[in-house]
Amino acid sequence: MQMFAFLRQTEPETQEISRAAEAQEIAIRALKDKAVERHKRDATSTDAASRQELELIANLSGCPKPLKPNSCPKNCLSTKYRTISGICNNRYNPLWGAANAALARWLPAEYEDEESQPKGWNPGHLYNGFTLPLVREVSNKIMQRSSEHVLEDDAYSQMLVDWGQYIDHDISFTPQCTTKSAFPGGLDCLTTCENRNPCFPMKIPPKDRLFGTRRCLPFFRSSPACLPLDLEMLHTKSQRQQMNAITSFLDASVVYGHTEALEHQLRNLSSPEGHLAVNGDFSDRGLPFLPFVPRRPSRCFQDAVDPHGGRVECFLAGDSRASEILTLSTLHTLWVREHNRLASALKALNSHWSAEQTYQEARKIVGALHQVITMKDYVPKILGLEAFDKYIGVYRGYNHSINPTVSNVFATAAFRFGHATIPAMLRRLNETFQEHKSYPSLSLHQTFFSPWRLVKEGGLDPVLRGLLGRPAVALTTDHLMTEELTERLVVLSSPGDLDLTALNLQRGRDHGLPGYNEWREFCGYERVETAGQLRRVVSNARLVETLIEVYGHPSNMDVWLGGLVEDLLPGARTGPLFACLIGKQMKALRDGDRFWWENEGVFTPSQRQEIQRHSLSRVICDNSGIKQVPPDAFRMGQYPWDFLSCDNIPAINLQAWQEDISKASPSCGPPIAVKNGDFVLCSTPDKRVAVYSCHYGYRMEGSEEVVCTESGWSSGPPICKERGRVRIQYLTESLRGHIAGIERKSFTSFC
């Protein structure tokens, strides 16, 4: 019953900030009401009392204090490796792109009360003279639920679809409200059909097959983001924002995590090669699986045929959604293996490197490979070359004035275009890329939260062959989503299955996304105000007729659906609107990242040359039992004619990372190791520096940096001492008491 909660699980740090944001929101709402009442009683009253109360909220809510540029470290390590949380990537705006910060707004939110109530919250609210259709009604009437007559992509493999989902999990994750029942009264969001924060249930229309047994499908609102507090917000409409729990950057946080605590869990700190932790119970013909989550038994499904066999728990990875579907688990596992392979090779080349330096260098390479594969091999195929050149173009270096933060419309709508190309079946193939007799293909719903199928049914290879050797589903307006997702989506917090179309639409309304026409205008396209104008961008006349019937007016169309049904651009897998929104976001992720692999100084010229040679096909060759692959993992080919032996797939030459230790000063020798910490050699042309760090849970006493001088190291190493866990302080009854005169009915919800 808690599977959906698991699917949206976030790290404790994110949960604490979410609770703080929820507390802040309700306190601000109450304070606004109080300020209005105060002004009614005394029109000459000042804001002095309100200012004191705002300061109290800021101190007690637990929202993080604003981070100023002078808070960013200036040591040489800060120019060498990115922080795990993304903080201080931009030295002028330290929170741009960082984890647990608000999603960017490219257009102001549209809420029915102008502050936080989603579209569709108030019955009878009209848009262009019409009420918005129920999201389940849109799904029933517009999304083709039949899995028959599905067209195959004539150019690209299934890997294109699954890489899109994987990379989406590297750059965006919107947490749901931590509170799961409404206030006052404690209505359960799993059962209520009332719109009461944080519950925003998806009502079922009368002619729906579910009507009669259920009146609505459950839906939890996304958590608000913490807002900067000032007096102006008490007198104006301050719009609710949502947060991105992970870093916005293409930095392989999906492998390494986005908090120090999670990074610590994922590492093998006893490994001198800087390895990531792997599974100690099972292996894939000698190759490792991901480790299991520490809390056991976990909620993942087990093998019903072998109920007394060894349990296979949910996998632990840099992103909590790694066990959501087998293909995600497979890609996660592949990259953990690649990190450990690179780390071992780097340590062999540089025996003087510490475990920390080896880990960080391997992490840096893996992050760069995620960027290369995504921007060079994936994005041009999605946008088409013309749109890629228009919206992204040639790299011209890092620009600190560009905000790389993932936008709300990208995370909630545009980059969900791939949901329409998810197939009804997961193909598992044998060594000749034919249907596997021992491990046959599976219906999609059989792959949800079932890591046991990797461990007990052939490992990664059959799944990888299915991704490489079968075409992707072609996006057509005659088939917009498989019924595996509209009728059988496994989210066991609900009494029954859910509908991904309805969830996507409801999430966009929850986030206050403006409608389809507002985004067309944002991208420089003409608005479509009539059915005739809509037919110019959606050539399927029958679909246009249904859209007008359901929505009443083109401007009422939810942006996710509007972008999805547009005719595809030539050579692309998206229409004009999504090409614009995805292109703008990808350019921002590239140009606003100080550690982008092409930025001068991040890698040496010879290292950049080697990184460009690597490919997803090579990663598969190096970390699985597959011996023949297509040169481009995303391009569909016929086996064996379009496949190459792994011996003919270019590989990265790590000699470009070998350091010449003969140039090191002989007066110092290696830095002294410290218990519960490590060091990185971070030298410049004129000096040799060792920068120390302590493991998570320990604090440093002593100098962080020691410098090599003619007489030896400038000082002894620091000491790493255990520290108590610092918890964020939540808004409590004491805060309510301090804000005198606020009626309890004002505190209707923590969300």
Phi-psi region of 692 (alpha: psi -120 to 50; beta: other; left: phi over 0): beta
Q: What phi and psi, each to the nearest 5 degrees, are found at residue 4? A: -65, -40
What value does the mean pLDDT take over residues 260-279?
97
Residue 599 has pLDDT above 90, yes or no: yes
487, pLDDT greater than 80:
no
Tokens standing for residue 259: 């908090």
**Cα angle for residues 710, 715, 717 (degrees, 5° grid):** 130
Say which residue the tokens 């299934």 belong to: 158
CA distances from 481 to 81, 210, 411, 502, 691 (A): 41, 19, 19, 11, 52
Please give the Cα distance from 177 to 560 (Å, whole number).
22
Question: pLDDT of 361-392, one tens digit each?
Answer: 999 999 999 999 999 999 999 999 999 999 99
Which residues form the catalytic set? 169
| Out of 28-42, 132-146, 712-726, least confident range | 28-42
Amino acid at 54: L
For residue 510, report the phi and psi dihedrals to the nearest 5 degrees: -55, -40
Tell me: domain 660-722, CATH 2.40.420.20, correct? no
The pLDDT score that the predictor gives to residue 39 is 65
Which spans in 448-591 are helix H?
452-456, 461-469, 483-486, 500-510, 516-522, 531-534, 541-551, 559-565, 576-591
Residues 297-331: tens digit of each pLDDT: 998 999 988 877 789 999 999 999 999 999 999 99
* CA-to-CA separations, 689 to 77, 578, 602, 670, 708, in angstroms, rounded: 10, 47, 18, 11, 6
**pLDDT tens, 211-268?**
777 889 899 999 999 988 777 777 777 899 999 999 999 999 999 999 999 999 999 9
What pLDDT shows up at residue 309? 79
Q: What is the C-alpha to C-alpha distance for residues 680 and 691, in angstroms, rounded to an integer?
A: 5
- Return the closest-CA partner of residue 713 out of 667, 681, 656: 667
Average pLDDT of the segment spanning 693-721: 92
Secondary element (H or E) of residue 737: helix 733-738
Torsion of the alpha carbons at 32, 37, 38 and 43, rounded to the nearest 10: 110
How far is residue 488's CA from residue 368's CA, in Å, rounded to a whole number?
A: 37
How many separate helices (H) and strands (E) can be counted in the chain? 25, 18
CA–CA dist 618, 651 (Å, integer): 6
- In this prediction, residue 45 has a pLDDT band, given cuts at 50, 70 and 90, of low
pLDDT of residue 94: 95
CA distances from 543 to 129, 387, 479, 560, 572 (A): 21, 25, 11, 15, 21
When pLDDT is averaged across residues 577-585 and rounded to a whole number, the result is: 98
**CA-wise closest residue to 585 among 465, 725, 412, 717:** 412
CA 173 to chain CA centroid, Å, is: 4
Alpha-carbon distance of 319 to 253, in angstroms, equals: 7
What is the domain partition of the chain in residue ranges?
Answer: 660-722
Q: Which amino acid is at 23?
A: A
pLDDT, position 191: 86
Q: Which residue type occupies 179?
A: T
pLDDT on residue 246: 97
What pLDDT score was predicted for residue 420? 87
- Between CA 124 and CA 131 the distance in angstroms is 6
Q: Which residue has the higher pLDDT, 76 or 511?
A: 511
Q: What is the mean pLDDT of residues 589-595?
A: 98
| Cis peptide bond upstream of 198, omega within 30 | yes
Both structure tokens of 682: 């971070």
Helix (H) or strand (E) holding 701: strand 698-701
**Which whole number is the average pLDDT over 447-472?**
96
Task: Give tens-digit pLDDT for 419-458.
Answer: 888 888 999 999 999 999 999 999 988 999 999 999 999 9
Query: What is the rounded CA–CA span in Å between residue 254 and residue 260?
Result: 14
What per-residue confidence (pLDDT) applies to 76? 83
Burial label for 726, CB within 10 Å (0-12, 13-18, 19+), is exposed
At 669, the pLDDT band (50, 70, 90 cuts) reads confident
In the three-class reduction of DSSP (H, G, I as helix; E, B as strand; rest coil), residue 720 is classed as strand
Let me know: does 557 contact 508? Beta carbons within 8 Å.
no
> What are the residues whose beta carbons fall under 8 Å from the beta carbon of 335, sequence distance 6 or more?
252, 254, 255, 366, 619
Residue where the block lists tokens 């997961």: 426
Summarize the confidence of residues 732-739 as an average pLDDT: 42
Alpha helix segments (H runs only) across 355-494: 355-372, 379-383, 385-391, 408-412, 452-456, 461-469, 483-486
Residue 742 confidence (pLDDT): 39
Closest to 421 measured CA to CA, from 488, 490, 471, 489: 471
Could you read off the pLDDT of 51-106 as tens digits, one per residue? 777 778 777 778 888 888 888 988 888 999 999 999 999 999 999 999 999 999 99
Is residue 527 a contact partner of residue 521, using CB atoms and an 8 Å limit?
A: yes
Question: Residue 10 has what DSSP assignment?
Answer: -
Find the mean pLDDT for residues 709-713: 89
Question: CB count, 10 Å around CB of 24?
Answer: 22
User: Is 579 within 8 Å of 587 (Cβ atoms)?
Assistant: no
Mean pLDDT over each residue of the chain, to the nearest integer: 89
Percent of the chain with pLDDT over 70: 90
Q: Which residues pair with 267 in a beta bridge?
A: 276
The 3-class secondary structure across 496-528, one letter per residue, is: CCECHHHHHHHHHHHCCCCCHHHHHHHCCCCCC
Q: When comparing pLDDT for 62 and 346, which is higher?
A: 346
205-209, 434-438, 724-728: lowest mean pLDDT where?
Answer: 724-728
| pLDDT given for residue 744 in this prediction | 37
